[in-house]
Amino acid sequence: MHRRLDWRAVSWQALTLVAAGLAAWWVLDTLFANLAARGISSGFGFLSDTAGFGISMSLIPYSETSSFGRAFLVGLLNTLLVSGIGILFATLIGFAVGAARLSRNYLAARLAAAYVETLRNVPLLLQIFFWYFAVLAALPRPRGSLAFGDILFLNNRGLYLPAPEANGPYFLLAGAVLAIAAVFLWRRGAGVATLVLSVCAIVPLALISWEIPALRGFNFQGGMVLIPELLALAIALSTYTAAFIAEIVRAGIQSVPAGQVEAGKAIGLSDRDVMWRVVMPQAMRLIVPPLTNQYLNLAKNSSLAAAIAYPDLVSVFAGTALNITGQAVEVITLTMLVYLAISLAIAGMMAIRNRMILAEDGSL
């Protein structure tokens, strides 16, 4: 009887696989037949063709004579940039607001609650439009820029910042590596080594020469600029996602038994030390898994950049490049695979972080 049931299960699985294979074959056969009927060649050879269009922002050298492959890389880097900025600030804002919601300060708790209830219930696209059209577009022109210490300038063309000259990026990278190493050692309790690395991390920053933006003619020259599209998208993604992260943080903190808080206070810890040394390490076990989902949502929501013409992967490659080449299958497939890879990378890194937390807590 059991053997008969096993064979029946295997038969149904085999039939399902055959049906799925036939369906996939039919779809692909129909697709290539339609492409051939319209004279559209398939393949990725178009990536080496000249793109012939400009891109408003590029982290790497790019011109209209660059290839579609180069345009794809520009869009990918712009997507990674805004996603990285969004994840960083969404995390900082979300943790701060989540902690504030549980504050004994009535005003802080109410303001945090108002922030969460307002931003998470307004569509993200509308928030992007708000920051782009209602806030940044209303800023003064370059001659009337808002100046911050004569080194930062904000106007309707973007935020102008000092830029490192020559080998500046390498010094920044060296300082960042040393700073991360210092934080790691600090968490391990290596006080002297942490102090030494912290001092060493400052040295590369002191060696950097900076190019300060200056108003020449009708616009600023020198330094670097964060275009309004990037600012609007980064702010909207950060603040919107932070509202959801705040609720995750609040739930994680409330999951820690009250006895843990009382024990921390009994040994003389301040409220701040109790929060960051007793409560948060335990709360992170419940915070990290749903936090991963919010990071994934933020990375995918960055595709809304096309609504305000920020040159991300969707706007540049799945938009302009697709319209020029007509290679819809290849372009869309490649774009989908990129977002899949980004999502899997984020999920993988967060899974590693979650295992580290569980290992430190003794749950593994």
Domain ranges, ordered by start, for the chain? 48-165+209-361
Q: How confident is the model at residue 31 (pLDDT cuts 50, 70, 90)?
A: low
pLDDT confidence of residue 341: 96
Task: Flag whether pLDDT at 270 surpasses 70.
Answer: yes
- Beta strands (DSSP E) in the chain are 146-148, 152-155, 158-161, 163-164, 210-211, 214-216, 219-221, 224-226
pTM over 0.85: no
Question: Residue 310 and residue 338: Cα distance in Å, rounded?
Answer: 18
Kindly list the distances between the CA atom of residue 132 and the CA atoms of 4, 163, 225, 310, 364, in Å, as whole numbers in the listed order: 65, 24, 16, 11, 47
Rounded Cα distance between 310 and 59, Å, is: 13
Length of the chain: 364
Check residues 25 and 313 and name the one with the higher pLDDT: 313
Residue 4, pLDDT > 60, answer: no
Q: What is the pLDDT of residues 48-67, one digit of tens each?
A: 999 999 999 998 999 999 99
pLDDT value at position 185? 61
* Band of pLDDT at residue 297, cut at 50, 70 and 90: very high
The string of pLDDT tens digits covering residues 131-143 is 999 999 999 999 9
Q: What is the pLDDT of residue 113?
A: 95
pLDDT in tens, 78-104: 999 999 999 999 999 999 999 999 888
pLDDT recorded at residue 187: 60
Report the distance separating Cα 83 and Cα 298, nearest Å. Answer: 7
- The whole-angstrom separation of Cα 139 and Cα 144 is 9
Contacts of range 291-297, beta carbons closer than 8 Å, 24 or more positions apart = 291/91, 291/245, 291/248, 291/350, 292/346, 292/347, 292/350, 292/351, 292/354, 294/90, 294/94, 294/241, 294/244, 294/245, 294/248, 295/87, 295/346, 295/350, 296/343, 296/346, 296/347, 297/241, 297/244
CATH 1.10.3720.10 fits 48-165+209-361, yes or no: yes
Phi-psi region of 222 (alpha: psi -120 to 50; beta: other; left: phi over 0): left
User: Both ends of the chain: CA-CA distance in Å?
Assistant: 41
Percent of the chain with pLDDT over 90: 52
Mind listing the pLDDT tens digit for each residue in 174-225?
767 766 776 666 666 555 555 665 666 666 666 677 788 988 888 888 888 9
How far, in Å, are 74, 311, 329 from residue 326 at the CA level?
20, 19, 9
What pLDDT, on the 0 to 100 scale, is given for residue 1?
A: 46
Residue 32 scores a pLDDT above 60: yes
Q: Is the pLDDT at 167 greater than 70, yes or no?
A: no
| C-alpha–C-alpha distance, residues 186 and 190, integer Å | 6
At residue 20, the pLDDT reads: 85
Determine the average pLDDT of the residues in 251-260.
87
pLDDT at residue 3 in the model = 53
Task: Give the mean pLDDT of 300-324.
Answer: 94
Average pLDDT, the chain: 86
The CA distance from 5 to 53, in Å, is: 62
